[in-house]
Amino acid sequence: MGGVDTAQQTTAQDTAQDPASTTPRTVTVTGAAGNIGYALLFRIAAGGMLGPDTSVRLRLLEIPAALGAAEGTAMELADAAFPLLADVEVTDEPARAFDGVQHALLVGARPRTKGMERSDLLEANGGIFGPQGRAINDHAAQDVRVVVVGNPANTNALIAAAHAPDVPAERFTALTRLDHNRAVAQLAARAGVAVTDVAGVTIWGNHSATQFPDLTHARVRVDGTWRPALEVVDPVWAGEEFVPRVARRGAEIIEVRGASSAASAASAAIDHLRDWTLGTGVDADGAPRRTSAAVVSDGSYGVPEGLISSFPVTSDGGTAWRIVPGLEPDESVLPGEGGRLAATVAELEAERDAVRGLGLL
Ligand SMILES: NC(=O)c1ccc[n+]([C@@H]2O[C@H](COP(=O)([O-])OP(=O)(O)OC[C@H]3O[C@@H](n4cnc5c(N)ncnc54)[C@H](O)[C@@H]3O)[C@@H](O)[C@H]2O)c1
Ligand SMILES: O=C(O)C[C@H](O)C(=O)O
User: Does any domain span residue 264?
Assistant: yes
Active site positions, annotated: 207
ipTM for the complex?
0.99
Asked if 117 and 205 sit in the same domain, the reply is no
User: Does any domain span residue 5?
Assistant: no
Taking alpha carbons only, the member of 253, 254, 272 closest to residue 107 is 272
Which domain-ending residue is among 142, 174, 206?
A: 174
Q: What percent of the chain is predicted at pLDDT more than 90?
A: 85
DSSP conformation class of 196:
G
State whether the Cα torsion 353-354-359-361 is positive or negative. negative
Which domain-ending residue is among 122, 153, 174?
A: 174
Asked if 266 and 334 sit in the same domain, the reply is yes
DSSP conformation class of 117:
-
Element (H, E) at 160: helix 153-162
Q: What is the mean pLDDT of residues 283-297?
A: 92
User: Does any domain span residue 212?
Assistant: yes
Asked if 29 and 156 sit in the same domain, the reply is yes
Q: Is the pLDDT of residue 11 over 80?
A: no
User: Does any domain span residue 14?
Assistant: no
Residue 287's domain is classified under what CATH number? Answer: 3.90.110.10
Asked if 46 and 115 sit in the same domain, the reply is yes
User: Does any domain span residue 17?
Assistant: no
Pocket of ligand 2 (CB under 6 A): 111-112, 118, 151, 178, 250-251, 253, 260-261, 265
Asked if 183 and 263 sit in the same domain, the reply is yes
Asked if 127 and 235 sit in the same domain, the reply is no
Q: What is the mean pLDDT of residues 42-60?
A: 97
Q: Is the pLDDT of residue 1 over 80?
A: no
Q: What pLDDT band is residue 140 in, cutting at 50, 70 and 90?
A: very high
Which domain-ending residue is among 159, 174, 189?
A: 174
Q: What is the mean pLDDT of residues 77-84?
A: 97
Residue 81's domain is classified under what CATH number? Answer: 3.40.50.720
Asked if 192 and 301 sit in the same domain, the reply is yes
Question: Could you give phi then psi for residue 7, rounded to 5 degrees?
Answer: -60, -25
Asked if 246 and 167 sit in the same domain, the reply is no
Determine the 3-state secondary structure of 286 from DSSP. coil
Q: What is the mean pLDDT of residues 216-221?
A: 97
| CB of 146 closer than 8 Å to CB of 157 | yes
Question: String of b and e for 293-316 (b: at least 16 CB within 10 Å)?
Answer: bbbbbeeebebeeebbbbbbbbbe
User: Does any domain span residue 317?
Assistant: yes
Tell me how crowded residue 273 is: count the other CB atoms within 10 A of its CB.
24
Q: What is the mean pLDDT of residues 56-69?
A: 98
Asked if 183 and 157 sit in the same domain, the reply is no
Q: What percent of the chain is predicted at pLDDT more than 70?
A: 94
Model pTM score: 0.94
Q: Is the pLDDT of residue 251 over 80?
A: yes
Residue 155 CA: which ligand is closest?
Answer: 1
Query: Ligand 2 mean position to 224 CA, how many Å?
Result: 35
Pocket of ligand 1 (CB under 6 A): 30-31, 33-37, 61-63, 66, 107-112, 128, 149-151, 153, 175, 178, 207, 260-262, 265
Integer Cα distance of 268 and 66 in angstroms: 24
Asked if 314 and 330 sit in the same domain, the reply is yes
Q: What pLDDT band is residue 327 in, cutting at 50, 70 and 90?
A: very high
Asked if 51 and 119 sit in the same domain, the reply is yes
Q: Is the pLDDT of residue 285 over 50?
A: yes
Predicted pLDDT at 125: 87
Question: Could you give phi then psi for residue 169, rounded to 5 degrees?
Answer: -60, -25
| CB of 31 closer than 8 Å to CB of 60 | no
User: Does any domain span residue 18?
Assistant: no
At position 248, the amino acid (one-letter code) is R
If one counts the domains in the chain, the total is 2
| CB of 144 closer than 8 Å to CB of 169 | no
Query: Ligand 2 mean position to 312 CA, how many Å?
Result: 20
Q: Which domain holds residue 315?
A: 177-353
Closest residue by Cα to atom 9, ligand 2, is 250
Predicted pLDDT at 21: 53
Asked if 120 and 245 sit in the same domain, the reply is no
